[in-house]
């Protein structure tokens, strides 16, 4: 965090959360700087999860941590981007209830992980095959979400937060943020393989270096990471001891998201007494927005200032209820069929899609919908009667559009400045140089066409979850992955090494599919190395008896904490030493013996066992004591 403006923003946040005798002085200072006096109420904080700075920073780190996902490329921040109003700037299509793409029930959702089984091996998805799965609803904004009693479009993240592991009540009321954030990490569509649970996630965090995949890390986070990259230590700083639990992960993420308060819009300034904060057109739009009665727009029936939502659930008749019954799935009430949460209009001008199914792509389209909503009623079942009061003729619609798109836009959100600042995560557009890419015009067709090569994970030194998939190969064939440091010639590489033979799946979810696990261990791959990989599939129908997949270019890089050493892999608590503390941690892992692939601390050679080979590697590091 840098600059006086950032300092004031942080100071204002803590003033509003925990109270301060400096409130009057702070308000006076803000009025001189052009920042609005906040129109929003104090941030509600559940007593079970009080705000602390160490917990806030840990939550911020976890929010951007892609290594939580089994693909290593999805974090909370992947789908929630401030510059897109806290929602997802990416547009991906889910085919909807009919399972057919390019039909009216299609949904614009968020891409997640390629489907994977219990052991993180690729398997075919009925809708997306071996491509990233897509959520069946659009991502809602997490900005100002703290004010909502229940979260998600259907409100299934309830105010009472239950510890995911013990099932006990952890927050009696006001815990919707905590309830919300424990869903995606174990979702087999969004972030996880089909058998991932919280024990697995906790073990993942034990063995990775915090935010290693991120670059351009914000100053407040970097200051903490300069002291440690160990999640054990970060949890100790936040909670008093090194235990990593699902409850604590939720508490940290909830704490961070309580800082994401957008209250510095032109409207906030206008409300604070600045008559020039809104343009004349926006002022007319505001008047139209606030107008009620038979001739009024009646926008405030649902979008109530200062939140610009009433946090209710309503059915707009957008699509047939059979496609998605919304709130009814949570409450079981017939009266809730087809109802979805009323979203806040703050920062709506930054969003990429609108409505629970992403049906509209511009605010103008939304205004057009409301402009005709009294006359067009294609899906009347349980449609909210409030829509019959909406009156938004074209001229007023344009003024209201200007108001909601611009007057409710917080420049800190748009510009991603504190508290909405963010690092460059691995999947950011600016990180393309670090991402594996499939080379065009490579491969050799076989009996089923040219097989596809699939890589989703990050080629970072130390990534034990790196893997290369094969799709569309001859079912039941023998295949092997070849690797070379030399670029392909005439569509194929000359392998300098080959992995062991594997059998392509012959039926069901693995038909034509294979997975090669390739832990990128320190000492096996090097920073800056560019590797080329290609599948070779025995197929008598192919030229030369072998079908070849396309070639994937793999640029190996080291994380933001630097290149790991073989020794540092044994520094389990991240304190720079391999000592008795690490021995105790290793002994606990050693007792597990057999573990899921690449899942736990102690499996130093990533062979899915914590055994004598790992013990030998650990003792070598233990004897060296200091790891650099």
SS (H, E, C) 547-587: EECCCEEEECECECCECCCCCHHHCCCCCCECCHHHHHHHH
Q: Are residues 298 and 398 in the same domain?
A: yes
Residue 294: exposure state from Cβ atoms within 10 A (0-12, 13-18, ≥19): exposed
Q: Specify the CATH number for the domain of residue 21.
A: 1.10.760.10
Distance CA 55, CA 237 (A): 8
Query: 192 and 290 in one domain?
Result: no
pLDDT beyond 50 at 101: yes
For residue 622, pLDDT over 90 is answered with no
Pair 50, 145 in one domain: yes
Model confidence at 8: pLDDT above 60: no
Q: Do 335 and 484 lie in a common domain?
A: no
This prediction has a pTM of: 0.89
In a domain, 129, yes or no: yes
Task: Using the predicted structure, report yes or no on whether residue 523 has a pLDDT greater than 50.
Answer: yes
| pLDDT value at residue 31 | 44
Q: Give the residue from 208, 236, 257 where a domain finishes.
A: 257
Take residue 568 and report the two structure tokens written for it. 């540092």
Closest by CA to 452, choosing from 116, 132, 130, 133, is: 130
Same domain, 354 and 302: yes
Say which range, 96-105, 316-325, 388-397, has the weakest mean pLDDT.
Answer: 388-397
Q: What confidence score (pLDDT) does residue 611 get? A: 72
Beta carbons of 167 and 175 less than 8 angstroms apart:
no
Give tens-digit pLDDT for 173-229: 999 999 999 999 999 999 999 999 999 999 999 989 999 999 999 999 999 999 999
Both 319 and 394 in a single domain?
yes
Q: Say which residues have a Cβ less than 8 Å from residue 3's Cβ, sequence separation at least 6.
A: none
Among 523, 555, 587, identify where a domain stops.
555
Indicate whether 337 belongs to any domain.
yes
For residues 337 and 362, membership in a common domain is answered with: yes
Residue 418 belongs to a domain: no
Shared domain for 252 and 273, answered yes or no, is no
Q: Is residue 169 part of a domain?
A: yes
> Predicted confidence band at 565 (pLDDT cuts at 50, 70, 90)?
confident
Domain end call among 508, 524, 555: 555
Of 75-79, 91-95, 583-587, which gets the smallest average pLDDT?
Answer: 583-587
Q: Looking at residue 118, what is its pLDDT?
A: 94
Whether 416 is covered by a domain: the verdict is: no
CATH of the domain at 579: 1.10.1330.10
Q: How do residues 135-179 score in pLDDT, each as one tens digit?
A: 999 999 999 999 999 999 999 999 999 999 999 999 999 999 999
Is pLDDT larger for residue 600 or for residue 102? 102
Q: What confidence tens digit (pLDDT) does each residue in 573-602 have?
A: 655 667 776 677 677 666 654 444 444 556
Which residues touch 480 (CB under 8 Å, ≥6 apart)?
Answer: 498, 499, 500, 501, 502, 535, 536
Q: What is the CATH number of the domain that holds 501?
A: 2.20.130.20
Nearest one of 428, 408, 369, 456 to 141, comparing CA atoms:
408
Per-residue burial over 33-71, b = 16 or more CB atoms within 10 Å of its CB, e = otherwise? eebbbbbbeebebbebbebeebbbbbbbbbbbbbbbbbb
Q: Which domain holds residue 158?
A: 4-257
């Amino acid at each position: 965090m840098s600059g006086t403006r950032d300092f004031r923003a942080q100071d204002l946040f803590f003033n509003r959360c925990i109270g301060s005798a400096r409130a009057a002085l702070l308000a006076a200072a803000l009025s001189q700087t052009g920042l609005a006096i906040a129109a929003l109420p104090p941030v509600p904080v559940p007593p079970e999860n009080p705000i602390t700075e160490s917990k806030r920073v840990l939550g911020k780190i976890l929010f951007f941590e892609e290594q939580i996902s089994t693909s290593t490329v999805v974090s909370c921040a992947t789908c929630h981007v401030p510059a897109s109003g806290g929602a997802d700037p990416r547009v991906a299509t889910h085919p909807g209830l009919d399972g057919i793409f390019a039909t009216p029930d299609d949904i614009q959702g968020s891409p997640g992980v390629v489907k994977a089984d219990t052991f993180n091996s690729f398997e075919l998805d009925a809708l997306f095959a071996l491509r990233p799965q897509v959520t069946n609803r659009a991502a809602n904004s997490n900005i100002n979400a703290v004010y909502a009693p229940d979260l998600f479009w259907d409100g299934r993240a309830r105010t009472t937060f239950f510890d995911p592991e013990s099932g006990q009540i952890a927050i009696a009321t006001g815990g919707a943020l905590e309830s919300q954030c424990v869903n995606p990490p174990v979702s087999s569509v969004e972030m996880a393989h089909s058998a991932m649970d919280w024990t697995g996630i906790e073990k993942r965090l034990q063995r990775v270096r915090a935010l290693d995949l991120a670059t351009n890390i914000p100053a407040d986070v970097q200051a903490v990471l300069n002291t440690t990259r160990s999640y054990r230590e970060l949890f100790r700083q936040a909670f008093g001891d090194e235990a990593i639990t699902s409850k604590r992960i939720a508490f940290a993420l909830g704490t961070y998201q309580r800082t994401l308060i957008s209250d510095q819009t032109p409207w906030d300034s206008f409300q604070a007494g600045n008559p020039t904060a809104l343009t004349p057109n926006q002022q007319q739009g505001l008047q139209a927005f606030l107008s009620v009665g038979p001739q009024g727009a009646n926008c405030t029936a649902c979008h109530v200032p200062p939140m610009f939502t009433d946090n209710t659930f309503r059915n707009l008749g957008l699509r047939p209820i059979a496609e998605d019954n919304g709130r009814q799935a949570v409450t079981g009430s017939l009266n809730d069929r087809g109802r979805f949460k009323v979203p806040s209009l703050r920062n709506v001008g930054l969003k990429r899609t609108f409505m629970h199914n992403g049906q509209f792509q511009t605010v103008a389209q939304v205004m057009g919908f409301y402009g005709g909503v009294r006359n067009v009623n294609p899906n009347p079942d349980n449609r909210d009667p409030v829509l019959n009061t909406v009156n938004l003729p074209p001229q007023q619609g344009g003024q209201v559009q200007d108001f909601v798109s611009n007057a409710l836009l917080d420049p800190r959100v748009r510009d991603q400045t504190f508290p909405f600042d963010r690092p460059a995560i691995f999947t950011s557009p600016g990180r393309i140089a670090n991402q594996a890419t499939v080379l065009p015009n490579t491969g050799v067709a076989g009996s089923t066409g040219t097989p596809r090569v699939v890589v989703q994970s990050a080629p970072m030194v130390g990534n034990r979850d790196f893997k290369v998939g094969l799709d569309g190969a001859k079912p039941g064939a023998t295949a092997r992955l070849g690797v070379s440091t030399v670029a392909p010639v005439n569509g194929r590489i000359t392998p300098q090494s080959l992995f062991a033979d594997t059998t392509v799946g012959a039926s069901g979810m693995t038909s034509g599919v294979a997975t090669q696990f390739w832990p990128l261990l320190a000492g096996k791959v090097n920073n800056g190395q560019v590797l080329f990989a290609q599948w070779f599939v025995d197929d008598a129908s192919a030229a030369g008896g072998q079908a070849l997949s396309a070639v994937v270019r793999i640029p190996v890089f080291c994380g933001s904490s630097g290149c790991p050493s073989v020794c540092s892999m044994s520094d389990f608590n991240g304190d720079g030493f391999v000592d008795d503390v690490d021995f105790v941690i290793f002994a606990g892992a050693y007792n597990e013996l057999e573990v899921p692939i690449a899942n736990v601390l102690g499996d130093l050679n990533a062979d899915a066992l914590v055994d004598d080979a790992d013990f030998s590697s650990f003792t070598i590091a233990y004897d060296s004591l200091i790891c650099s």
